[in-house]
Each structure stands twice: as structure tokens, then as C-alpha cells.
Structure 1
Amino acid sequence: MTMTRRAPHPRRAELLAAGAATVTVVLWASAFVSIRSAGAAYSPGALALGRLLAGAVALGAVCLVRREGWPPRAAWRGIAISGLLWFGFYMVVLNWGEQQVDAGTAALVVNIGPILIALLGSRLLGDAMPPRLLAGMAVSFAGAVAVGLSMSGEGGSSVLGVVLCLLAAVGYAAGVVAQKPALGRASALQVTTFGCLVGAVACLPFAGQLVQEAADAPVSATLNMVYLGVFPTALAFTTWAYALARTTASRMGATTYAVPALVVLMSWLFLDEVPGTLTLAGGALCLAGVAVSRSRPRAGKAAAPELTPEPRPEPEREQA
């Protein structure tokens, strides 16, 4: 007798997806603090490879326990593209770019990513772009500009660094849009695990640098690299995929505008970097924009719910 799995209540499913998105943005914000420590001892490619290897080990262990098996063949195209562009290319190029420009400039340039996600999602995935989403993204981007300007100045910048951060934003956006269809055919854990493996394989040319630098790096830098792999990569990318499977790429991209505000708060709490008035105002704008983009229209106005679980078949599992 075959038992059918009861679908979760829409409200409960919405709350679970919102909670998953919250976990993602908090952990991604914490990554900036860890990158600042690990990046002093590891080169961009070595740091990306070490982070991806740590993430792949953690994700692989969970997959073995859950017996996830291999993703269906139909999901591999999206997994491979997102693995190369987001897990691999994005991490290396962003690490490199942040060595060429100050943190404010990097944050400012990379935050065009959600806008690119909305444009690509509308063009390639048919995502709707309601006025509330567009207005919220405009407010959040203004906040990101304020945060970036307030943090810029002392670190200096270069044309190369700006170009690298711009390429990172493009890779991030393209990876997210490529990942979305794969989540309709495989589980969030499968898509994240094998995307991380693809990224790690792409970064293997940096293996020699990783071994050499790990021998000389302080323990704190190596621990930060492992933290980046286990939490902001393995856990946060999985919760991201879970939420992305239940909403549009555009709305998920808009949610990440909460990251700059959280980075300001964490830098204040853990690094004793007291934010200025412009920084605080920018962080508040980022959060306000996210709230607008996620808000519901008033009763009587037709609109799609923000986080609606998409019906999809149970992912295929590898037969023993």
C-alpha cells in the first residue's frame, strides 16, 4: 500500500521558507567577518577551495545519513552551471576583488547582484516583477549605496578590483537563476551538495596553494576557513535552496539586501567597529526595502503570495 505524504499547511510552509531565508542571510553576513580573518593568511583561490572542501565534506556526510543518492539527470544542467558560476567562480573572484578594493566599494558593487537576479529571472524564468518588489529593491539598493559610501575611503580601490566585484555579482546572479529550475527536479540538499562539489572540482588548480598556505597559516585563519565551509556554505546554501524552491528568484535576491545591515551590526558587536550615522541609516534602508519587497498587498488586490510552495515530484533516489 502506497502512502502519500501530506503537504504542509500553506501558512506553515511559508513560515518555514521565511525562516530558512533568515538563516541564510544571517550566516552569509557572518561570512564577511570570517573572510576578513582567513583572507589575511590565504590567497583567493586557496580560500575558496578550502571553504568548498569543508562544505562538501559536511554536505556529503548529511547526504550519506539521509541516503539522498544522485540527483535526477534533468537537474544536472542547473547544478553544474550554478556550481561553476556561483560556488566556484563567484567565490574566487570575490575573494580576489576584496583584496583590490575597500570593503565599502566591494559591498556596493556586489549588491547589484539582486537587481541582476530580478532581470534575469524575469527574462529567463518568467518571474513576475510586482511594484512592491521593485520599490523594495530600489530602497534596499539605496541603503547598500549608503553603507558602501560610508565604509569606503581608507582601503583604496582599483579598476581591476571594481571589475572583479562586478564579475562576482554577474556570476552570483547567473548561478541563482540556473539553480532555480534544478530545484524543481531535485531536493535542496542534493542541489547544494553537488553544486558545492562542482565548485570544488573547478577550484582544484589552487590545491597546491592551499597545502602550502595551510602549513604557515595561523590556526584562527584555518578555523575561520572551515567555519566558512560548514556554516555560510553547507548550511546557508542549503537553506537558501530550500527557500528558493518555494518562491521566485527575484524575491530571494531582494531578501539578501538584509546582509549589509547585518554585516554592520556584526562588525559593531564582534570587531568593535562603531558605525557612523550614514552607515546606520543605510542599514535601516536595506532592512526597510526588504520589508517592502516581502510585504503583502492589501486585501482586495490580487497578487501572488510571497512564499508559495511549488508542487514538484519527489526527487529520484539511487537504488541500492
Structure 2
Amino acid sequence: MTAAPTRSSHPVLPWLAALAVMVMWASSFVVIRAAGADLSPGAMSLLRVGSAAIVLVPLVAAGRVRFPRTGRLRAAVIGWGAVWFAAYTLVLNASELFLDAATAAMLVNVAPLIVAVASGLLLGEGLSVRLISGVLVAFGGIALITAATSTGHVAAAGLVLGLLAAVLYAGSVLAQKPLLAHIDSTSMTVIGIGAGFLACLPFAPRLAGEVADAPASSLLAVVYTGVFPTALAFLLWGYALTRTPAGVLTSSSLLVPAISLVLAWLLLGETPPLLAAAGGLLCLTGAGFAILPNVLAAVRTAPLRSRSQPETVPERCDDPAVES
């Protein structure tokens, strides 16, 4: 077995990639909210993921995609793609039929806490007092958003769908990190998006029926979400995820609700209900209290690690059951 080649990058680059991803993902909440008036959730998912799949075809043609050799790894990557790019997008689209863009973004971005708690319980990283305190504060925020549903300002269906999207988001991140030890991030992204596209194909008749009546602006906006917040953003996300801890990187999504709020206010003229906004702020405060110290520590120590030893790529094994 030959040693894998050494690769190195500036320690700030993964965080710059993550910042670009957060801006693109934030814009997608606004587009989904606006286009939801013209396209159903399933049709929107198919158009988004289909657009992403099309722009990634050149990577396949150029030989940049390496398909897993074992059935187990193929099944794992395909299943991950179906959840991330089909189920998550479908649930998110449906949630924004009931929620404004900023409230949806705040609910979905409870995901960093889910990742942190799951990492502590399932990966043996432990649950610190800070993490538990952050969880309690965040759940207080969810309680406020729930209270907003009883006032009629936030639909209960939107709350449930938003939290389900957060669970799917967190589960996809937790599943992707170990798989990246056995497949490169570009290949995983391209194969995953292809799997998501196939999973969305049952919505093709609905999309065909809605395209004729939908304005070109809505169609182009959804295509944008496929090219940028999906194809490009997930390539950058995979790059960053191979170089940073999953829980720490996922916490960067705490920026998304704030960016979404500004974009929704500027482009759609909407702001979340006051009680829901307060709840969302509590969610983000709890998540930030629990996780942001780890982010700052990782950023401070990255230059020291990069000077002391080069970053290396673990030798990849095509069977996740075998340790690399």
C-alpha cells in the first residue's frame, strides 16, 4: 500500500469556503420563499437538484469523479445523497409555505446543536456543561417559536417541517464526515446530487405542468439555487469538511439566519413575527454559547498545526467497514 500524497492549504481557506457557503445557503431561503408562490415543493426540488446535476456533468466527463468500487460504499453515498439533496430540500421547500425565510433559517440552523450533541453521545466526545447549557437555551428559543404558533403568527406545520429539516441536515453532516475517509469530497458531492436528482424524478410530471404557468423569474431563481447554493456550495462544503471537525464547521451555519433576515428584508420586504424572532435569537445564542468557543480555538490553533506538520490525506479505502 503506497502512502497518499501530501496536500496542504492555508488554514484560513476552509473557513473562507465555509463563509461563501453560508452566504449562498442564506440566499436559498429567500429564493425558496419567493418561488414557493409559483412552484410546489416537489417541483422546486427537482428543478433545483436537476440544475445542479447538469452543471456538474463536466466533472464526470473530465474524469474528476471516482465511483466507489464496493456496493456498500455506493449504497451509503447514494443514500446520503437521497436524504441531503432530495428529502432535505423537499422538506425545506414545504416548510417555507408556512414560514417566512428568516424563521425557517433560524429553525433549520438548530442543526449545529444536533450535530454537537450527537457527536458527544455517539462519537465519545462527551457533553460539556457549556454544551448542555446551550441546548437548554436553544430549546427555550424553540419554545418561544412554538408559542408563536399558538398566536397564529407561525403555523404549527411550518414549525414541525422546519425542525425536521434541521434533523435531516444534521444527520447528513454526521453521515458525510466518516464517508469522506473513503471517498473524495468532489466525487461524493457529484454522486450524491445525482442520487438526489433520481429521487426527485417522480415530481417530473408536476414540474412539467407548473413550468408553463410559472414566471421566468421564479424558474431562473430556482435554477440559481441549483447552480450556486447546491452544486458550488456543496463542493466548497466538502472541501471544508475534509479539513475541519464536523461539529465545529457546522456551527458556521449560525451566520445563515442573520444573512437570510437581511436578504428577506431587502428583497421580499418581510420580517419574522416578534415572538418567533426572539425565539430564533435564543436558539442562535444557545448554539453559539455551546459551540463558538470551539470554532475560535480551531482557528487559533490551525496556523500552529500547519507550521508544525503538513496536512496529509489519509489513504482512502473503498469499504467503510475497513479502517483507513
TM-score of the two chains, using structure 1 as the length reference: 0.78
Residue correspondence of structure 1 range 1-320 to structure 2 within 5 A: 5-8=5-8, 12=10, 14-73=11-70, 75-103=73-101, 105-127=103-125, 134=131, 141=138, 156-271=153-268, 282=281, 291-296=292-297, 311-313=313-315
Cα contact 1:257–1:286 (8 A) shared by 2 = no
Per-residue deviation, 1:135: 8.6
Q: Counterpart of 1:98 in structure 2: which amino acid?
A: E
Q: In the comparison of the two structures, how many residue pairs are matched?
A: 307
Q: Deviations over 1:249-270 (max 9, x none)?
A: 2112211111011112323444
Cα contact 2:64–2:186 (8 A) shared by 1 = no
Cα contact 2:112–2:287 (8 A) shared by 1 = no
* Paired residue secondary structure (1:216): coil
Q: 1:33/1:144 Cα in 2 relative to 1: closer, same or farther (>3 Å)? A: farther
Cα contact 1:29–1:262 (8 A) shared by 2 = yes
Q: 1:58/1:275 Cα in 2 relative to 1: closer, same or farther (>3 Å)? A: same
Cα contact 2:102–2:272 (8 A) shared by 1 = no
Moved more, 97-106 or 33-42: 97-106
Q: Deviations over 1:154-199 (max 9, x none)?
A: 9843333322222222111111111111111111111111111111
Q: 1:129/1:296 Cα in 2 relative to 1: closer, same or farther (>3 Å)? A: farther
Which sections of structure 2, spanning at least 5 residues, go unmatched? 319-324
Q: Counterpart of 1:84 in structure 2: which amino acid?
A: A
Per-residue deviation, 1:24: 1.0
Q: 1:168/1:54 Cα in 2 relative to 1: closer, same or farther (>3 Å)? A: same
Cα contact 1:81–1:178 (8 A) shared by 2 = no
Cα contact 1:144–1:260 (8 A) shared by 2 = no
Per-residue deviation, 1:129: 6.0
RMSD (Å), alpha carbons:
4.1
| Cα distance in 2 for residues equivalent to 1:206 and 1:51 | 12
* Paired residue secondary structure (1:186): coil
Q: Which residue of 1 aligns with 2:322?
A: none
Q: 1:107/1:22 Cα in 2 relative to 1: closer, same or farther (>3 Å)? A: closer
| Cα distance in 2 for residues equivalent to 1:107 and 1:274 | 12
Q: 1:263/1:139 Cα in 2 relative to 1: closer, same or farther (>3 Å)? A: farther
| Cα distance in 2 for residues equivalent to 1:26 and 1:144 | 24
Q: Counterpart of 1:177 in structure 2: which amino acid?
A: L
* Paired residue secondary structure (2:176): helix
* Paired residue secondary structure (2:315): coil
* Paired residue secondary structure (2:262): helix
Q: Counterpart of 1:178 in structure 2: which amino acid?
A: A
Cα contact 2:185–2:235 (8 A) shared by 1 = yes
Cα contact 1:97–1:162 (8 A) shared by 2 = yes
Cα contact 2:108–2:166 (8 A) shared by 1 = yes
Which sections of structure 1, spanning at least 5 residues, go unmatched? none
* Paired residue secondary structure (2:297): coil
